[in-house]
Amino acid sequence: MLADLMKKSNYTIVYTGAGMSTESGLPDFRSAKTGLWENENPAAVASTEALNKDVERFFQFYRTRVLGVKDCHPHKGHELLAKWEKEGIIRGIITQNVDGFHSVAGSEKVMELHGTLQKVHCQSCGKKYGNETYEEEIFYCTCGGKLRPSVVLFGEGLPEDTFMKAVEESEHAELFIVLGSSLTVTPANQFPLLAKENGAKLVIVNMEPTVFDDYADVVINDRKIGDVLAEVAEQL
């Protein structure tokens, strides 16, 4: 059914959440016992306050996260989405994830709502670097400013340009596919509803049920995203 919807759609937008990343081996944030925020207070390590007042702890927490991303890789689901973008089957990806794996896999039209761990930049002058600086424990810019991952920290708003682009793409979608999101985080969880309100078909692929399943035209639970997309690929 998903393959049929994709064949009929002239404008398909994909929205990805933590479930897309966990299939690559990355931990998510909120799972009991294994979620990152079960063991750390986000306000203490991943916030603007930490960057300004407890910078060594901030650096070490994000170095651990950067190293974690380097230990993992995009899976077949990321690769299929990149292939489908090149073929014009999908028009863009909205993602909550900060691993940067969509771009690493070759996708170009990616709206990273929370930024990316693949890059860092200077808090003072804005100069951009690759994340190997953190790997090598280089935490300061040539200007002397602090290098920080190019992600949205607690205490910061979502990047306005990226958010508005995601709104625009959601409104244009004929088919909106959610992959691996519980759809509990606002305001990002409003994109599927925005698409639906503008006439799009809505598909939700997630291990667990979501609060928006009743709005969806197709719901797929208890399946790995990579497996679902591989099955779809055989029918396109």
The question of whether 114 is a catalytic residue gets the answer yes
b/e for 131-163, b at 16 or more Cβ within 10 A? Answer: bebbeeeebebeeeebbbbbbbbeeeebbeebb
Q: State the CB neighbour count (10 A cutoff) for residue 15.
A: 30
Integer Cα distance of 15 and 20 in angstroms: 10
β pairing state of 115-122 and 147-151: antiparallel
Q: Two tokens at 219?
A: 């719901």
Query: What is the helix, strand, coil percentage profile of the chain, to 5?
Result: 40, 20, 40
Task: Identify the residue whose tokens are 């691996």.
Answer: 180
Considering 78, 102, 114, 121, which one is annotated as catalytic?
A: 114
Q: Which residues are catalytic?
A: 114
